[in-house]
Amino acid sequence: MTASFEVGPYRPPSEAHSLLIRATRNCPWNRCKFCCMYKGHKFEYRSVAEIKQDIAAVRTIQDRIKEISWKSGNGAGGMKEAAATVFHSSPDEAFRHVALWLYGGGETAFLQDSNTLIMRTNELAEVIRFLKESLPSIKRVTSYGRSVTAAKKKPEEMVELYQAGLSRLHVGLETGYDRLLEYMDKGATAAKHIAGGRNVVESGISLCEYVVLGLGGKEMWREHATETARALNEIDPDFIRVRTLTVNNGMTLYDEIENGSFIRATDEQIIEEEKLLIERLECHSNYVSDHITNLLQEVEGKLPEDKEKMLASINQFQALTSEDRTNFRVGRRVGVYAQLDDLSDGYKRGAVEQVVRRLSKNNQLDENEMYTFMERFI
């Protein structure tokens, strides 16, 4: 097995079974205080020829897995079983990756790394067309992109990418509050976020905007919620995906927490922030809480029709006794609970109570311990 191709380190959780094609390396901005994904790595373009070579390698590997399926006597109908066999038996990471993609259906692809949109439009379109021609099972092509880059593209360029086959862009809005955007060194303003977002939406490309709950800390949480809702209402993306702020010592923000210039919000304060955000949303988006860092992953739905249901879940948490809220928070952070209803499981509850007693000092929960649990997931 000699065919191989380059795969970058990151993709959205929703692209878990997508084929990963590395179109650029690392991040061209790479200055956000709350991110450490590409720190220490220089941004690089890859040539169209390089990218095409990788796509051709994927096709070669795919064909070999198809051969395994036919030799097993199952034909095309045995592709899933053949992919599973390759995934579990091959030491070659390229083959394992293609096998996972085929096992998941082989219909989606994600272009890496952090801002593929920065490529020349004609070159990116050429890559997308070649990808779909080479691997015709692919029905959806997605990528990360920055709002500032999207705002710089001419509307006709965005349409060209859509017509080439770019289905969706994942964009880090993070916040719509200008003061917080500047503080976090995001390199964008709310106006740029809105302009870039509208440029994507109007082209026909599906847009997924990411919001970081807790990004405003204890000082700017209210403005973070209200201004982010305002920006999202103007953009009206197809998806809003929320993440909860987690920090490690590879981030610039870590030093500011250590010296006291940034004070982190607790889970309960972040839930109040999320409540305000949802109350102010007037867009027609799918609100998705698909990350383990979020306390209430059940807060999901289609806006505006599911708004009351989403707020009801938050109200349910806030109506719990202080003891029950603490128990649920700890249970979520140590991975025992998945949703609020798990509190009624006596076995799980008892196990969490033991952890709560161990973490508490003078009947007070150690918030630093809670943050440490969250950091395991980044």
3-state helix, strand, coil in the chain (%, to 5): 50, 15, 35
Q: Is residue 168 part of a domain?
A: yes
Does 242 lie in the same domain as 256? yes
| Residue whose pair of structure tokens reads 């709950």 in the numeric block | 213
Predicted confidence at residue 2, as pLDDT, reads 61
DSSP-H helix ranges across the chain: 48-71, 79-89, 93-103, 121-134, 147-152, 155-164, 178-183, 190-203, 221-235, 252-258, 267-280, 307-318, 322-333, 346-359, 367-375
Domain that holds residue 369: 322-378
Does 360 lie in the same domain as 266? no
Q: Is residue 128 part of a domain?
A: no
| Residue whose pair of structure tokens reads 């690089």 in the numeric block | 44
Total domain count, the chain = 3
Q: Is residue 124 part of a domain?
A: no
Does 24 lie in the same domain as 168? no
Predicted confidence at residue 76, as pLDDT, reads 53
Cis bond before residue 236 (omega within 30° of 0) = no
Predicted confidence at residue 250, as pLDDT, reads 86
| Residue whose pair of structure tokens reads 């084929």 in the numeric block | 19
Chain centroid offset of residue 293 CA: 11
DSSP 289: -
Domain at 243, CATH number: 3.30.750.200
Does 230 lie in the same domain as 94? no
End-of-domain residue from the set 54, 76, 107: 107
Written as six digits, the tokens of 287 are 């609100």
Does 204 lie in the same domain as 83? no
Predicted confidence at residue 367, as pLDDT, reads 83
Q: Is residue 219 part of a domain?
A: yes
Q: Is residue 342 part of a domain?
A: yes
Does 311 lie in the same domain as 376? no
Q: Is the sign of the CA dihedral 237, 109, 85, 70 positive or negative?
A: positive
Q: Is residue 154 part of a domain?
A: yes
Does 327 lie in the same domain as 263? no
Does 346 lie in the same domain as 306? no
Q: Which pTM value belongs to this model?
A: 0.93
End-of-domain residue from the set 319, 336, 356: 319
Does 240 lie in the same domain as 259? yes
CB neighbour class for 199 (10 Å; exposed up to 12, middle 13-18, buried from 19) = buried
Binned average pLDDT, 10 residues per bin, the chain of 378 residues: 83 92 96 92 96 97 85 64 81 89 95 97 98 98 98 98 98 98 97 98 98 97 98 98 93 94 95 98 97 95 98 98 94 94 96 91 79 78
Does 270 lie in the same domain as 328? no
Q: Is residue 333 part of a domain?
A: yes
Does 314 lie in the same domain as 273? yes
Predicted confidence at residue 73, as pLDDT, reads 59
Does 368 lie in the same domain as 294? no
Asked if residues 121 and 81 have their Cβ atoms less than 8 Å apart, the reply is: no
Predicted confidence at residue 78, as pLDDT, reads 64
Q: Is residue 114 part of a domain?
A: no
